Amino acid sequence: MSSRDAESPMLLVNDQATSRAIGFVVLFETATDRDGSSGVDVRLGYVFAESARGRGSGTELVSGMVDWAREQPAIDSIPGGVRTDNEASARVLPKNGFRPTDSHDGEQMYPHHLD
């Protein structure tokens, strides 16, 4: 594994029906210390091909990532961020339990605490 992959792994997203690549996911880990116990926040980033947009792929992907993260004892939360002009992603995150908080530099933050 390269040092870049160790820092922020990138995962390819394939269409289940066709096995064609339709996007990718990038995960950024940040160490946490909550109530004296250590864990991680895993920031989620994703991009889809234009041909895959509007078909529910983002909602399905984020739902699967939340389910996966809940099974990982070290993960405390999955913060996400969306450019304020990206209305499609701004709809995906709340569908999966993310709640908007602060915004800055044209990005709305959506944390999702897994407890």
Domain residue limits at 32: 3-110
| pLDDT higher than 90, residue 34 | no
Directed axis angle between helix 57-70 and helix 87-95, to 10°?
40
| pLDDT higher than 60, residue 4 | no
Has residue 102 been placed in a domain?
yes
Has residue 20 been placed in a domain?
yes
| Percent of the chain surpassing pLDDT 90 | 25
Has residue 46 been placed in a domain?
yes
Q: What is the mean pLDDT of residues 107-113?
A: 87
Torsion angles phi and psi, residue 112, rounded to 5: -140, 105
Model confidence at 8, in pLDDT bands (50, 70, 90)? confident
Both tokens of 64, joined, read 């699967």
Model confidence at 1, in pLDDT bands (50, 70, 90)? very low
Q: How many domains does the chain have?
A: 1
Has residue 88 been placed in a domain?
yes
- For the stretch 46-78, pLDDT in tens is 888 988 888 888 899 899 999 999 998 888 889
Strand partners, 76: none
Instruction: Please give the residue that has the higher pLDDT: either 86 or 1.
Output: 86
Has residue 115 been placed in a domain?
no
Mean pLDDT of the chain: 85
Has residue 80 been placed in a domain?
yes
Q: 10-14 and 75-77: which strand pairing?
A: unpaired
Has residue 89 been placed in a domain?
yes
Looking up residue 86, the CATH number of its domain turns out to be: 3.40.630.30
Cα–Cα separations (whole angstroms), residue 15 to 26, 58, 112: 17, 12, 26
